[in-house]
Chains A and B, each alone.
Chain A
Amino acid sequence: MTTLDERPGTGGAEATAPGPDQPPARTEVSFDTSPDRYKHWKLSVDGEVATLTLDVAEDGGIVPGYELKMNSYDLGVDIELHDAVQRIRFEHPEAKALVITSAKDRMFCAGANIKMLAASPHSWKVNFCKFTNETRNGIEDASAHSGLTSIAAVNGTAAGGGYELALACDQIVLIDDNSSAVSLPEVPLLGVLPGTGGLTRVVDKRGVRRDLADVFSTTSEGIRGERAVQWRLVDGIAKARDFPEEIARRAAEAAATSSRPGAGAQGVPLTPLTREVDGDTTRYEHVRVVLDRDSGTATITVLGPTAVPSSIEELHEQGDSAWLLAATRQLDDVILRLRTNELSVGTWLLRTEGDVGTVAAYDEFLLAHRDDWLVNETIGFYKRAVKRLDTTSRSLFALIEPGSCFAGLLAEIAFAADRSFMLEGQFEEDDDPKPAAVLRLDEFNTGLLPMSNDLTRLQVRFLGSAEELAAAEAAVGRDLLAADALELGLVTSAPDDIDWDDEIRLVVEERKSFSPDALTGMEANLRFAGQETPETKVFGRLTAWQNWIFQRPNAAGPEGALRRYGTGQRADYDRKRV
């Protein structure tokens, strides 16, 4: 994730940029956007082919202090990309192929803006990389699960993060103009890694031979033309005059075999989210967030459905107000905003409220209409939102209380948590105590919502015991009381109402006393037991190494490569291998 953008000398504009040692001026990042507000992308749909054209506005950085030259990007650019891909999935079911290209001359994309990276605090870099990774995974997910084949029309140089964006696509076509190249110049030029999946996808997805990948990743000018094809870095090359036709041909070919509904399907417009903010409380229609800054917690409550659509037509009529789509958009927004804007809120308490029976019925409705494109997209979106929880660097505790509705797909929220607490019995001192909490499993827990390692959360949870997994899966459809859930290993503990408040308070306070860094590392290691996939490698291996390198003087120190890039001075490395 880098750019070949010229890095101006120090001083001057840097005064307004967030320094590496100080947090950026408190600008709250919003993920709200829509095509009519895009600064950097153009979304167009022509028949079965959607095209996303990158045309970054140099002065359109999400925070001040740098210019986004040469189609380099920052978080703001990527927020638009994320939004655009979501909209193609929901608003444009007629689109069967996606072309990503550039409006700039001879420059596809130069990757993440270096001046932005050099000036950003570590936490900003990390969170930015996580989001960009998720967005690129989303492009791959759209291909794998929605039949939306993506084609990178690399009509200029794709460097660093620019090439990584292309790598997220199913096909890469590079313009053959004797100068445009694909490259990963991070190691030779910047002393960091292509951390948005670049190293992983080159060998793991595209199958580039490891020694050639080594050469490629240390050759700053990159590889172009026929050799790029031979090395499997791109799928094809085309001269400028043939380029549009080559792209069109591939798009049409992909569309022909797509499973998307195509012409005639009615898209669902994603209308702006409404948030009601009242101090530290934010209310959406189906999600509520309450921050407690003293205890460092965010209590996130997802409200279950109150009714189930009577027919698939009704679901389509409801559009983006259908419960699961709306709730998922809201939950996703909460996750993104808290991650980006509330770094000190280190513990998220995950709750649900609603009727277990209605959730279960809603699940049944979805399962019965799985082959409907909107149902499929909605389930996929929910799957990605819960995966965001998995990769969130916050402690996650699920609170399963009377009045909660952790059934089926909503139960995955509890299984995504680092620990879960289920009240045994009722809150007896309530005036009108609600019935005891129940947990209920269904098909969503046994295969439809895999984690990034392609295992279900139950499979990961019971990796050590096939019997325990079988016992849990055999409980599908039963209302599990706290004792049952504890017995089955589905919850961590089951305090009764006498102990409840103290247990939760103590565990929250204890968590707050630990090193946030150690917790992030511990949680990330414990959450992903079992097999690896390219996705887990990106979030595990690649990200962890990148975050280490980001902290090292060889990259981020005053004489490090990241800081010296563009100054004309060479980085002065500490030569010791660690």
Chain B
Amino acid sequence: MTTTESTPQSGTVTGDAPTPTGPTSKIDYSEKIPNNVNLAGDRKLQRALEGWQPKFIDWWKNLGPSIPTHDVYLRTATAVGRDGWAHFDRVPMEDYRWGIFLAEQDPDRKVNFGDKLGEPAWQEVPGEHRSDLRRLIVVQGDTEPASVEQQRHLGMTAPSLYDMRNLFQVNVEEGRHLWAMVYLLHAYFGKDGREEAEQLLKRNSGDFDSPRILGAFNEETTDWLSFFMFTYFTDRDGKYQLGTLKESGFDPLARTCEFMLKEEAHHMFVGTTGVQRTVQRTAELMKEHGTDDIWQYGGIPLSVIQKYLNFQFSVSMDLFGSETSSNAAAYYTAGLKGRWMETRRKDDHQLHGLTMDVPIIENGRMSTKTVPMLTALNLDLRNEYAADCENGVKRWNQELEDAGLEERLFLPHQGFNRKVGTFAGHHVSPSGEILDDAAWEKNVGDWLPTPDDRAQVAELMVPHYDTGDFAGWIAPPSVGINSMPVEYDYVRF
């Protein structure tokens, strides 16, 4: 794993496994559930988990990865310190040890924004914010198991053992992120919290009667290209949401999200490199055969990759909610949910009197409207996200450039294919033109994957389970996991 992720604000580059910080102590090697929350001494938590853990295992068996395996080379977090953060081993999936980890506590941490700016961060849920915090945690928690459900059959068509292992790593970590949110519900929200924790297992992705809360998490992940796009674009939404919760005045939530962000970086890595390797292979085939129509050579045409990108980017943009939101303002003012990199921002962190321009469509034209900054925080976060998404696109385009090709991938306009917010109800092309129904219908097949595209991609999804063997539509990675060779049996049957 040698990929890099950069964040737009800092420009700093973080490795695929961010350097663990803090002391290496405080490890509780509870056999079953690694944790640093004193599970052994917390009756409340034990009781809650006793009830929940078997249900989680049931859920994992029923809705987790469907392909039977003997063991998988997985990273398990066994502590937050340097020695425990990334512990690699061959693990039978059902024995994976989902743990509970919070980043180290800073005893001097303050509420860094909103009306309570400067007060000591809360170690308990303030009663007045109980419902809001519970809602934020439940919505975040609901997304974690959703993607596992969406991706459960992908193992059947893995392009390699390396990729299958990455899929499972993402899956178990989403499972652990569910644990993290459930921990918060159990530890801080009493009976209500336990009930919500159960509900997290009862809602299922795409279930007509009991769907996941957010739309993008009820979409089917049909194939590996859509999986890579999902981990790149949709998991990145998760990263940005966690980034705002990491700023929360409710310290346990902040610490939980901070640790989750470390793992989330791996998911970004899977997406970035997955698409990059696909593009790399496509570029090779295009160059070799002098055509974009490379279906016949077992590759995925760049135009189809662009359509998948268009789709996943646009549905992920919807996850940020409406551009103007009084809820977002209320969460901010209350100190519950901050901005991306809140503490590095150079303003008063209260935002009274500040404004921001938000996009609107007015009289059939793109325009902007000035609104109070506080109400535009969803857009603020989405803009950070979109800027970050550009980095991956640049990286993918590097493969095309290296191959000497003229074609490039690009992010569609923010108004393209939107179902939420100011652009909902309008047709906007990937280049930002406002279209009428007829023009949209005429061109939509060129912009979003058609059933035919998906069928053709699906045809390429043939499993490759031999050590070191890779499907023809994707290039092998340059290096393996944890300094292991690429040709390693990362998954054993």
List, in ascending order, chain A residues with CB within 8 A of B44's CB.
498-499
CB distance from A250 to the nearest CB of B (A): 58
Q: Are B127 and A498 in contact (CB under 8 A)?
A: no
- Counting CB contacts under 8 A, is B130 at the interface? yes
CB distance from B9 to the nearest CB of A (A): 33
Q: Are B127 and A507 in contact (CB under 8 A)?
A: yes
Q: Are A512 and B127 in contact (CB under 8 A)?
A: yes
CB distance from A399 to the nearest CB of B (A): 15
List, in ascending order, chain A residues with CB within 8 A of B47's CB.
498
- Counting CB contacts under 8 A, is A495 at the interface? yes
Q: Are A503 and B128 in contact (CB under 8 A)?
A: no
Query: For chain A residues 495-516, which have a beta carbon within 8 Å of chain B?
Result: 495, 498-499, 502-503, 505-513
Q: Are A510 and B127 in contact (CB under 8 A)?
A: yes
Q: Are B126 and A509 in contact (CB under 8 A)?
A: yes
Interface residue from B125, B128, B131, B188 paired with A512 (Cβ < 8 Å): B128
- Counting CB contacts under 8 A, is B190 at the interface? yes
List, in ascending order, chain B residues with CB within 8 A of A511's CB.
127
CB distance from B89 to the nearest CB of A (A): 34
- Counting CB contacts under 8 A, is A33 at the interface? no
Q: Are A495 and B128 in contact (CB under 8 A)?
A: no
- Counting CB contacts under 8 A, is A258 at the interface? no
Q: Are B191 and A506 in contact (CB under 8 A)?
A: no
A493 with B191, Cβ < 8 A, contacts A498-B43, A498-B44 known: yes
Identify the closest chain B residue to A493 (Cβ).
Answer: B191
List, in ascending order, chain B residues with CB within 8 A of A498's CB.
43-44, 47
Q: Are A495 and B190 in contact (CB under 8 A)?
A: yes
- Counting CB contacts under 8 A, is B357 at the interface? no
List, in ascending order, chain A residues with CB within 8 A of B188's CB.
502
CB distance from A347 to the nearest CB of B (A): 11
List, in ascending order, chain B residues with CB within 8 A of A493's CB.
191
Q: Are A503 and B190 in contact (CB under 8 A)?
A: yes
Q: Are B127 and A499 in contact (CB under 8 A)?
A: no
A513 with B191, Cβ < 8 A, contacts A498-B44, A498-B47 known: no
- Counting CB contacts under 8 A, is B466 at the interface? no
- Counting CB contacts under 8 A, is B433 at the interface? no
The range of chain A's interface size is 10 to 19
A510 with B128, Cβ < 8 A, contacts A498-B43, A498-B47, A499-B44 known: yes
Q: How far is the CA of A512 from the CA of B126 in the complex (A)?
A: 11
Q: Are A499 and B130 in contact (CB under 8 A)?
A: no
Identify the closest chain B residue to A514 (Cβ).
Answer: B128
Q: Are A506 and B125 in contact (CB under 8 A)?
A: yes
CB distance from B125 to the nearest CB of A (A): 6
- Counting CB contacts under 8 A, is B124 at the interface? yes
Q: Are A495 and B127 in contact (CB under 8 A)?
A: no
CB distance from A33 to the nearest CB of B (A): 40
CB distance from B293 to the nearest CB of A (A): 62
Q: How far is the CA of A498 from the CA of B42 in the complex (A)?
A: 10
Query: For chain A residues 477-533, which have a beta carbon within 8 Å of chain B?
Result: 493, 495, 498-499, 502-503, 505-513
Q: How far is the CA of A560 from the CA of B124 in the complex (A)?
A: 49
Q: Are B127 and A506 in contact (CB under 8 A)?
A: yes
Query: For chain B residues 131-164, which have a beta carbon within 8 Å of chain A?
Result: 131
The size of the chain B interface, using a CB distance under 8 A, is: 14
Counting chain A CB atoms within 10 Å of each CB, the highest count among B43, B47, B127, B191 belongs to: B127
Using an 8 Å CB-CB cutoff, how does the interface string of B7-48 with A read, 1 for contact, 0 for none? Answer: 000000000000000000000000000000000000110010
A505 with B124, Cβ < 8 A, contacts A498-B43, A498-B44, A510-B130 known: yes
Q: Taking chain A's interface residues, is the majority helix, strand, or loop, or is none over half, making it mixed?
A: helix
Q: Are B125 and A499 in contact (CB under 8 A)?
A: no
Q: Are B191 and A499 in contact (CB under 8 A)?
A: yes
Identify the closest chain A residue to B126 (Cβ).
Answer: A509
CB distance from A524 to the nearest CB of B (A): 22
Q: Are A505 and B127 in contact (CB under 8 A)?
A: yes
Q: How far is the CA of A495 from the CA of B191 in the complex (A)?
A: 7
Q: Taking chain B's interface residues, is the majority helix, strand, or loop, or is none over half, making it mixed?
A: helix
List, in ascending order, chain A residues with CB within 8 A of B129's CB.
513
Q: How far is the CA of A513 from the CA of B125 in the complex (A)?
A: 13
Identify the closest chain A residue to B131 (Cβ).
Answer: A510
Identify the closest chain A residue to B129 (Cβ).
Answer: A513
CB distance from A421 to the nearest CB of B (A): 11
Q: How far is the CA of A513 from the CA of B44 in the complex (A)?
A: 27
Q: Are B128 and A509 in contact (CB under 8 A)?
A: yes
Q: How far is the CA of A327 from the CA of B191 in the complex (A)?
A: 35
CB distance from B115 to the nearest CB of A (A): 12
List, in ascending order, chain B residues with CB within 8 A of A513's CB.
127-129
List, in ascending order, chain B residues with CB within 8 A of A512's CB.
127-128
Q: How far is the CA of A476 from the CA of B254 in the complex (A)?
A: 50
List, in ascending order, chain A residues with CB within 8 A of B125's CB.
506
A508 with B127, Cβ < 8 A, contacts A498-B47, A499-B44 known: yes
CB distance from B407 to the nearest CB of A (A): 57
Q: How far is the CA of A189 from the CA of B94 in the complex (A)?
A: 83
Identify the closest chain A residue to B188 (Cβ).
Answer: A502
Q: Are B43 and A506 in contact (CB under 8 A)?
A: no
Using an 8 Å CB-CB cutoff, how does the interface string of A272-291 with B read, 1 for contact, 0 for none? Answer: 00000000000000000000
CB distance from B333 to the nearest CB of A (A): 13
CB distance from A508 to the nearest CB of B (A): 6
Q: Are B190 and A499 in contact (CB under 8 A)?
A: yes
List, in ascending order, chain A residues with CB within 8 A of B128's CB.
509-510, 512-513
Q: How far is the CA of A493 from the CA of B192 in the complex (A)?
A: 11
CB distance from A449 to the nearest CB of B (A): 31
Q: Are B126 and A502 in contact (CB under 8 A)?
A: no
Q: How far is the CA of A498 from the CA of B127 in the complex (A)?
A: 17
Q: How far is the CA of A507 from the CA of B128 in the complex (A)?
A: 8
CB distance from B436 to the nearest CB of A (A): 48
Counting chain B CB atoms within 10 Å of each CB, the highest count among A493, A495, A509, A512 belongs to: A509
A503 with B191, Cβ < 8 A, contacts A498-B43, A498-B44, A498-B47 known: yes
Using an 8 Å CB-CB cutoff, how does the interface string of B323-359 with A read, 1 for contact, 0 for none? Answer: 0000000000000000000000000000000000000
Q: How far is the CA of A510 from the CA of B47 in the complex (A)?
A: 25
List, in ascending order, chain A residues with CB within 8 A of B131's CB.
510
Q: How far is the CA of A511 from the CA of B130 in the complex (A)?
A: 11
A509 with B190, Cβ < 8 A, contacts A498-B43, A498-B44, A499-B44 known: no
Using an 8 Å CB-CB cutoff, how does the interface string of B188-207 with A read, 1 for contact, 0 for none? Answer: 10110000000000000000
Q: How far is the CA of A508 from the CA of B190 in the complex (A)?
A: 14
Q: How far is the CA of A511 from the CA of B43 in the complex (A)?
A: 28
Q: How far is the CA of A502 from the CA of B123 in the complex (A)?
A: 12
Q: How far is the CA of A512 from the CA of B127 in the complex (A)?
A: 8
Identify the closest chain B residue to A429 (Cβ).
Answer: B43
Identify the closest chain A residue to B43 (Cβ).
Answer: A498
Query: For chain A residues 408-456, which have a beta carbon within 8 Å of chain B?
Result: none
List, in ascending order, chain B residues with CB within 8 A of A510's CB.
127-128, 130-131
Identify the closest chain B residue to A498 (Cβ).
Answer: B44
List, in ascending order, chain A residues with CB within 8 A of B43's CB.
498
Q: How far is the CA of A186 from the CA of B44 in the complex (A)?
A: 60
Counting chain B CB atoms within 10 Å of each CB, the highest count among A498, A499, A506, A510 belongs to: A506
Q: How far is the CA of A506 from the CA of B188 in the complex (A)?
A: 10
CB distance from B187 to the nearest CB of A (A): 9
List, in ascending order, chain B residues with CB within 8 A of A499's CB.
44, 190-191
CB distance from B279 to the nearest CB of A (A): 51
CB distance from B42 to the nearest CB of A (A): 9
Q: How far is the CA of A505 from the CA of B126 in the complex (A)?
A: 9
Q: How far is the CA of A276 from the CA of B124 in the complex (A)?
A: 35
Identify the closest chain B residue to A295 (Cβ).
Answer: B127
Q: How far is the CA of A510 from the CA of B132 in the complex (A)?
A: 11
Q: How far is the CA of A512 from the CA of B188 in the complex (A)?
A: 19
CB distance from B360 to the nearest CB of A (A): 34
Identify the closest chain B residue to A513 (Cβ).
Answer: B128
CB distance from A115 to the nearest CB of B (A): 40
Q: How far is the CA of A506 from the CA of B122 in the complex (A)?
A: 13
Pairs A–B under 8 Å by Cβ, sample size 18: A495-B190, A498-B44, A498-B47, A499-B44, A499-B191, A502-B124, A502-B188, A506-B125, A506-B127, A506-B130, A507-B127, A509-B126, A509-B127, A510-B128, A510-B130, A511-B127, A512-B128, A513-B127
The 9 closest A-B pairs by CB, nearest first: A509-B127, A513-B128, A510-B127, A498-B44, A499-B190, A506-B127, A503-B190, A506-B130, A502-B190
